[in-house]
Structure 1
């Protein structure tokens, strides 16, 4: 048995048992006393939002700025992953990046987020009358902030540079604890309490952030199936949807990154492009284009103020801090995933793809979907907002589709895209958990399939307890984001230092 095979088979059983055990414990505790668990998570959520909120806002902003400085300096030419040419084409690579973060949020938040901010103007812009054309620009800009430059920068830029150097150049495991290698040295890999804690909390955060959207998807697609085909939106329907999704994710996991995730991502991005242009052509075309240009200008003009807004704490906890916590919780695992698919890329390509191209694409998608909703709401007040207020986010998408020609076809397209989005996320996150447990970028397929199925089983279990438990688990990622954000902090100075070191090694800058 060669060294690579031994590495591949060596599982971190402590991390597996503790992280898996805590998930099972959460389900059991929810069954025994759902109210008490909900109260504990709610209090922890508010604690994290109150005491870590300002830190998260500064962390993400600084991470984005340092990334840009690296990308557009000489260090941007540094090639990562000990490979001369990229493994994946540009389209495949960006498709995988886009599909992993957007998940169900890319569909349902795209419809509901702008509408929420249009109906109730964000506190920073309270002077603007809500529900008017003028209010549509800050509404879209606020959604851009929550799914834009700084959000994406937290998901695989500076941390990815640190991780790719430590793993591909130094030979250390592809694990969250490796972010701490520049600070602690080799000690972090030797039965380290801090190292194990870093791995465990990252797995739990990822599980919470993945199981939440899976359960949420069951509720949303269930609503969509009832709206389109009249299929009763019951627990059985929702469970079958989740099981179907878990099976897709498992099959994709079993076929490996080179086939499964790549194929799902390409199919989904192609479908999204078709849906986007269909809505653009069939819907209010000129309004959407004007809204995108005007909202991008508004977003860039108010970018710093919006990023560091600290007045209305309750609103921040429900919106900006919630999203920042969600994305930070995903941060370590997304860095692992992006490290795996980005070998042969330069720092400049990495930063531009993740921090600039992906946010602009998602901003335009939000404008097409959410902007259409705003247009129809202004034309006919209540046509979209009534559905949002009475039945939530899934109803918002369907209400918008009802206004557009061939809306039923587009609604079916949205249901398909939502399922593939979340399946891709479940697959990629099961991959990163398996990588964390094995320390190699080629983990056992059995472990990947196990985690993909476990995500689905826990989601069904939580739905069986009650819909509120899905929201509880989703909120829990914000709690876990507190320690995870400390794990990402050293990358602010380690990434530039490593970039400089590699630039010398690759003769990009002179050696002194």
Structure 2
């Protein structure tokens, strides 16, 4: 008998068809009806945030508490993939991949813009520039600190556990196996997977579109090239092509290599800025800013703006919480895929602590370099941010040595991070739309990479980027509920896994089960 032909495409039709139809419908409506639809979704989002903003704050805190509990509990020693599993990637490659997929783009885009904007318009009114600067970093660190990474860590842990320890598909439906059993393979499972695919596609498409605008702004700043729609479309086409090459190369050769390149280039960029900027000021700022974050941790983490009359929190903290929640299935699935062989304690520590520390240093080095100029009246970075956030990084670099060289590195880093997001996003959509297969056919990977690029170009040309971004934010509410239920489901699954490993350990040591041991294991299982 001859060898069976390997599939070029592989789609799980109950998920693929609804996701494709809904995506086509949303994009068509966003482009055809334009501004009225944008205003409708924006109004709907604001109403939602007014009503459930506090629920998002509560959800983020619950997931952080859950992450701390699972890290230090008796479950911490459980290994993802079983007792004999070994990591697929070394630590540096692993950190590079989870960081590039998780937040690399946000650091580049908001590294200067967010601290400067909070400095110019303090979230909570304060007296004096020094207090405004302190508050700017406290809120910026809140948005990129332990809360968002705890969300990523918890959902990634659930994906990894149910995939590698329970042999379930790498898909959102698998998170509910302890509660629903085989029903996850039916209608309910299809619905949650479709939601995840749409959130991932829309999120990546809008991110690519806004990234094109930032690269265009950088090229205009450097070379005077007009930031036209044509230039932005070319950027998306190049990004999509590079992402396609990466995912065809596979996880080991493509995504891993690109992620390692990203983090090395980011470290170089960070180090150069630290040296070229006001070094002593930056060093002292790192120490003080981290201290400020921990001093206000409980206050900021539970801040709901209930006694204020502004809508600041809706546009910043609640928006961020909604974004991280809506984005979590994409990042969580990708992190899970590259995390086999690590204990739960090692996994959660790696996913949460190191990226948070890097984020704090990054925002301080770039944000404080900008605010140093503001505090010493050397440049008006706040004015530039007010006009266009995408130029903030380049405006700041222009006031320090090697500005052209640093700006070129910045543009390359933006492109590299966007390529990594695109290829990792394509892999995630592949996993879900092929029924949770870990090794989707090349044709399917290429298909989704091209779809993402095509979506971004269509929305950019049709003016629908903001509409789709707002639509993604609306998906955060059901996903927040899913995340809370997921924590309970994971707890049940881990209890059974621990009992299973205890029984196996007793059996290996050839000990006779005592009545006391049997009773203990039964209680643990219940």
The bucket for the TM-score relative to the shorter chain is over 0.9
- Counterparts of 1:111-190 in structure 2 under 5 Å? 111-123=112-124, 126-129=125-128, 132-155=129-152, 157-190=153-186
How far the C-alpha of 1:489 sits from its partner, in A, is 1.3
Q: What corresponds to 2:466 in structure 1? A: 471
Residues 315-373 of structure 1: per-residue CA shift (max 9 Å, x gap): 11100111111111111222211111000011011111112111111111111111111
> Against the structure 1 CA distance between its residues 251 and 325, is the aligned structure 2 distance closer, same or farther, given a 3 Å change threshold?
same
Q: What corresponds to 2:512 in structure 1? A: none
Q: More displaced, 28-37 or 296-305? A: 28-37
Contact 1:205 1:480 in 2 (8 A): yes
Q: More displaced, 380-389 or 179-188? A: 380-389
How far the C-alpha of 1:495 sits from its partner, in A, is 2.6
1:408 aligns with 2:404: yes
Give the whole-Å Cα distance in 2 for the aligned partners of 1:150 and 1:250. 32
How far the C-alpha of 1:381 sits from its partner, in A, is 5.8
- Counterparts of 1:33-72 in structure 2 under 5 Å? 33-72=33-72
Bigger Rg, which one: 2
Q: What corresponds to 1:446 in structure 2? A: 443
Residues 193-225 of structure 1: per-residue CA shift (max 9 Å, x gap): x22111111111111211111001111101111
Instruction: Report the secondary structure of 1:287's partner residue.
Output: helix
Contact 1:179 1:488 in 2 (8 A): no
Q: What corresponds to 2:524 in structure 1? A: none
Q: What corresponds to 2:427 in structure 1? A: 431
1:27 aligns with 2:27: yes
Instruction: Report the secondary structure of 1:104's partner residue.
Output: helix
Contact 1:206 1:330 in 2 (8 A): yes
Instruction: Report the secondary structure of 1:154's partner residue.
Output: helix
Match for residue 493 of structure 1 among 478, 488, 493 = 488
Contact 1:223 1:394 in 2 (8 A): yes
Contact 2:71 2:348 in 1 (8 A): yes
Q: What corresponds to 2:78 in structure 1? A: 78
> Against the structure 1 CA distance between its residues 10 and 240, is the aligned structure 2 distance closer, same or farther, given a 3 Å change threshold?
closer
Contact 1:146 1:320 in 2 (8 A): yes
> Against the structure 1 CA distance between its residues 48 and 405, is the aligned structure 2 distance closer, same or farther, given a 3 Å change threshold?
same
Q: More displaced, 64-73 or 318-327? A: 64-73
Q: What corresponds to 1:481 in structure 2? A: 476
Contact 1:205 1:481 in 2 (8 A): no
Contact 1:225 1:233 in 2 (8 A): yes
> Against the structure 1 CA distance between its residues 492 and 385, is the aligned structure 2 distance closer, same or farther, given a 3 Å change threshold?
same
Query: Structure 2: 5+ residue runs without aligned partners?
Result: 507-516, 522-526
Q: What corresponds to 1:106 in structure 2? A: 107
How far the C-alpha of 1:58 sits from its partner, in A, is 1.2
Contact 1:137 1:291 in 2 (8 A): no
How far the C-alpha of 1:89 sits from its partner, in A, is 0.5
Instruction: Report the secondary structure of 2:112's partner residue.
Output: helix
Give the whole-Å Cα distance in 2 for the aligned partners of 1:263 and 1:140. 33
Residues 32-54 of structure 1: per-residue CA shift (max 9 Å, x gap): 21022112211231233123321
Give the whole-Å Cα distance in 2 for the aligned partners of 1:486 and 1:12. 25
Match for residue 229 of structure 1 among 206, 209, 223 = 223
Query: Structure 1: 5+ residue runs without aligned partners?
Result: none
- Counterparts of 1:103-502 in structure 2 under 5 Å? 103-123=104-124, 126-129=125-128, 132-155=129-152, 157-190=153-186, 192=187, 194-311=188-305, 312=308, 314-380=311-377, 382-390=379-387, 392-438=388-434, 439-466=436-463, 469-502=464-497
How far the C-alpha of 1:491 sits from its partner, in A, is 2.4
Instruction: Report the secondary structure of 1:256's partner residue.
Output: helix
Q: More displaced, 87-96 or 24-33? A: 24-33
Give TM-score scaled by structure 2 length. Answer: 0.91
Give the whole-Å Cα distance in 2 for the aligned partners of 1:97 and 1:52. 30
Give the whole-Å Cα distance in 2 for the aligned partners of 1:6 and 1:505. 37
Q: What corresponds to 1:506 in structure 2? A: 501
Give the whole-Å Cα distance in 2 for the aligned partners of 1:202 and 1:209. 10
> Against the structure 1 CA distance between its residues 64 and 5, is the aligned structure 2 distance closer, same or farther, given a 3 Å change threshold?
farther
Give the whole-Å Cα distance in 2 for the aligned partners of 1:67 and 1:345. 16
Give the whole-Å Cα distance in 2 for the aligned partners of 1:203 and 1:94. 25
How far the C-alpha of 1:242 sits from its partner, in A, is 0.8
Contact 1:253 1:449 in 2 (8 A): yes
Instruction: Report the secondary structure of 2:475's partner residue.
Output: helix
How large is the RMSD of aligned CA atoms in angstroms? 2.2
Give the whole-Å Cα distance in 1 for the aligned partners of 2:99 and 2:395. 26
Contact 1:179 1:490 in 2 (8 A): no
How far the C-alpha of 1:6 sits from its partner, in A, is 9.6
Instruction: Report the secondary structure of 2:226's partner residue.
Output: coil
Give TM-score scaled by structure 1 length. Answer: 0.93
Give the whole-Å Cα distance in 2 for the aligned partners of 1:76 and 1:5. 43
> Against the structure 1 CA distance between its residues 7 and 84, is the aligned structure 2 distance closer, same or farther, given a 3 Å change threshold?
farther
Give the whole-Å Cα distance in 1 for the aligned partners of 2:499 and 2:232. 55
Instruction: Report the secondary structure of 1:79's partner residue.
Output: coil
Give the whole-Å Cα distance in 1 for the aligned partners of 2:178 and 2:494. 13
Q: More displaced, 41-50 or 302-311? A: 41-50
